[in-house]
Structure 1
C-alpha cells in the first residue's frame, strides 16, 4: 500500500460586513458581476453575505499559511472597493437569518426549495480541511479512527457563541444549526471502502442525494478528490488558528499511516460516545471536560488536547516540519478560542458591535489587504 501524499487544502467561509451597522451585507452578486476575475479562487455560497475561498493544493502548513493570507487579502481588497469589511467567525453576533438573501444560482435555489427554512437558517461559516489520501481503504481506516479527535479540535476552532443577538451559552452554536440538516454528525464506523460506497450508491439510487457531495458528515471521503475532508470546524478567526488545525489534522493522518505501516492501529469508538464528547466541546469548548474513553473517566479538554499533541502526534510533526504550527494550539489554550475572546469583549463592553469590530481586527491579523485584487468566481 502506497503512503498517502498528505497534501493539504483548506476552504474558508467569510462574512461580509457593513462597517457602519456591523450587520451582514449581501455582496456576492456584485462580485459575480465583476469584470476582473481569475478562475477558481472565490465562489459563492447559499447566502449572498457569505464568500467562500479555497487554497491551492498545499504540501505543508507553511504553504497553507501563505495561501490563506493571500486569499483573505484578496477578499478584503474586493470588499474594500465597496467600503465593506470581512469577518471569519462561525456565526454573526446579531444579524438575523430571516433577512438574508439567497444567492440566485440554480443549485442554491434548489437547496432552498429542498430544505425550506432549514436552508434559510443556515447562516453559518465553517472551515473545511482536506488531507490527501489516495488509497481508499486507508482513507476509510483513517476516517474511522480520526473521528475520536474531532471534539478535541473543535474546542480549538470554536468561534460561534452568539446567535441573533443572544449569548447562546455555547461555544460552537454553528454546530447546532448545521445539525438540523440531514446526513450530518459523526459517521458510524465503516467496514471498508465497499461499505461506504454501497451506502453512497444506495442514497443516489433511491434519489436521496444526487451524489456524494450531499453527505454532510463531520468528515467524509470527498466525492471528487482523493482526500479525507474534515467539515466539523467553525471557521477560524485568525489565520494562524486555521493553519494550526490543518497541521494537527495532517499530523493525525500521518500518525495513523505510521501505525498502519507497522501493522498497528488506534482503538475505534462508537459514534454515540464521540457525539457525547462533541456535545461537550460545542457547549463548553476549552473550559469543559471531555471523556477519556480508554480510561472511562473525565479529563479537562485542555489536558486531553495536550495529550493528543504530546503523546499521539509528537513523533511525526518534525518529519512533517510542522511542530511550530501544531504547537500553536498551546497558545490557543492559553489565550482562549475565538469564542472565548468574543465573550470576553462582550463581557467587557456589553456591545455586540464591539465584538464585530474585534472580529474584523483578528481576521486581518497577519494579512496584507490587496488593493488591486483580481479574482473569478467558481460556480
Structure 2
C-alpha cells in the first residue's frame, strides 16, 4: 500500500485546540457546538474553515491554517476562538480548556451528529462513549516521508516533557484521580491510541497501515491516534500527547517547543546524523511517570537507568533549543515554558484552587474560564 506524503515546508506549523462549552449557571459541560458552528460559518459555506465538530456536542475544535511562526499561529487561533466565544456567550455558555472537565459525567453528554463519530461509537462502544477528554495537537512540517518516521521515533524521548507541561486532568467525574493527566490514561483505552510503534521507515509504516486496513481494524489511517504520528495529508509530524491547554500562553510555549525540536531533528538528518531511538520500556515508563507525577516526576534519561528530575530536563532542553528558537523567531514564545515551570502546570493550579475553596470544583471551572480570558497567572 503506497501512502503519499504531502511534503511541507520545513518547520511550518499548525495547531488544533479542543474547547469545552460550559453552562455558566451549572458549570457543567453543555451541548451547543452545532448551533455555534452554524452561526459562525461564512455565508454560503458548508462549514467553518477553522472551527470543527469533535466527538461531543459540548466541544468545538479550533484549528489554524498553515503558519510560519508561532506568533502567527497564536493570532490565527485567537480570531477563531473569539468567534466561538461570542457565539457561546449568546447561549449562556463559557469557553475553557482542560484535559478533562472536573466533574461532568460523560454519560450525560450528546454525541456529535457527524457520521465519523457515530461510526466510532458503534465500533468502540464504551471505550469511545467515555472519551470526555480534550487535547491540543501540534503539527510541524516535514519535507520528505523518509524523515517522518525517524523524527517520530526521536520525539518519543520528549513525551514526558510535553505531557507534564500540559497535564491538566487531575479530576474525573468529580474525584481527584491522584494523577496529573487522567486524560492520557483514558485515551489509551482505544486500541490504536497511545505510544507509536517504533518503525524502521516509511515503507514499514505503509505496510503496517495496509495490514490494519485490510484486516478492517481501521478504515483510514486517521484512526491511528498515536501520541506522535506522521500525518501524510498535511506533510507533518503531529504531536497529540498534550492535555488540553488552558491559555494562549501555554499554547505558544508548547507549539514553540514542538517546532524547535522538529526543526533540530530535520537539520540533523540533513547533516547525515542518525536520530536517537529510545528504548520502548524507557518511553513507556517515562510517560507513566509524567501522567502520574507531572512536573514532579523523575524520568529515566538513558538505557542504564540514570534518573533526572523532569523539571531540570526541561530547563536543560530549553537552553539547548534557544539557538533554534532564534532561527525560527520564537524565543519569546519558547520562554513561556519556563513560566509554566515557575507558576505550575494546569493540574497544579486546579488543585490549588480546589484546596482554597474546600474542594468546590465549580471554582476550578471558574478559574479555567478566567485563565482562558486572562492568560497564564503571573
TMscore range, shorter length: over 0.9
1:34 match: secondary structure:
helix
Partner in structure 2 of residue 272 of structure 1 = 281
> What is the match of residue 302 of structure 2?
293
Per-residue deviation, 1:16? 0.3
CA distance in structure 1 between the aligned counterparts of 2:242 and 2:139, rounded to whole angstroms: 12
* Cα displacement (A) at 1:3: 9.3
SS in 2 for 1:327: helix
Which of 320, 326, 338 is the matching residue for 2:334? 326
Deviates more, 1:291-300 or 1:30-39: 30-39
Q: Which residue of 2 aligns with 1:357?
A: 366
Three-state SS of the structure 2 residue aligned to 1:229 is: strand
Question: Do structure 1's residue 76 and structure 2's residue 81 form an aligned pair?
Answer: no
Distance apart, 1:340 and its partner CA = 0.7
Q: 1:224-251: per-residue Cα shift (whole Å, max 9, x none)?
A: 2111111111111011101111111110
Q: Distance in 1 between matches of 2:87 and 2:131?
A: 24
Distance of 1:281 and 1:33 partners within structure 2: 39
Q: Does 2:129 align with 1:124? A: no
Q: Judge conservation of contact 2:301–2:307 (CA < 8 Å) in 1.
A: yes
Q: 2:16 aligns with which of 2, 6, 11?
A: 11
Deviation at 1:7, TM superposition (A): 0.6
Contact 2:8 2:235 in 1 (8 A): no
TM-score, scaled relative to structure 1? 0.93
Provide the rounded CA distance (Å) in 1 between the counterparts of 2:290 and 2:257.
17
RMSD: 1.7
1-side partners of 2:85 and 2:8: how far apart? 38
Separation in 1, partners of 2:144, 2:87: 39
How far did 1:203 drift? 0.9
Q: Counterparts of 2:318 and 2:40 in 1: how far apart (Å)?
A: 46
**Which residue of structure 1 aligns with residue 25 of structure 2?**
20
Structure 1 residue 34: Cα displacement = 3.2
Tell me, which stretches of 5 or more residues in structure 1 are unaligned?
Answer: 368-379
- Answer 1 or 2: higher relative contact order, Cα 8 Å, separation at least 6: 1
Give the superposition deviation at 1:59: 0.3
- Give the Å deviation of 1:295: 5.8
Deviation at residue 74 of structure 1 after TM alignment: 1.5
Q: 2:36 aligns with which of 16, 31, 37?
A: 31
C-alpha separation in 1, matches of 2:371 and 2:22: 14
**Contact (CA 8 Å) 1:291, 1:298: kept in 2 or not?**
yes
Q: CA 1:35/1:179 → structure 2, altered by over 3 Å: closer, same or farther?
A: closer
Q: CA deviation at 1:315?
A: 2.7
For normalisation by structure 2, the TM-score amounts to 0.93
Structure 2 counterparts to residues 231-242 of structure 1, below 5 A: 231-242=240-251
Q: Which residue of 2 aligns with 1:89?
A: 98
Q: 1:354 to 1:216 in 2, by over 3 A?
A: same
Q: Is the 8 A contact 1:189 1:270 kept in 2?
A: no
Of residues 220, 226, 243 in structure 1, which corresponds to 2:229?
Answer: 220
Find 1:262's aligned residue among 271, 274, 277.
Answer: 271
Q: Specify the SS of the correspondent of 2:374.
A: coil
1:186–1:271 CA contact under 8 A, matched in 2 = no
- 2:225 aligns to what SS in structure 1? coil
CA contact (8 A) 1:188 1:270 kept: no
**1:314 is paired with a residue of what secondary structure?**
helix
CA distance in 1, matches of 2:83, 2:10: 28
Structure 1 residues 100-179: aligned runs within 5 Å: 100-179=109-188
Q: Report Cα offsets for 1:133-178 as digits up to 9, x if no partner.
A: 1200011111111111111111111111111000111111100110
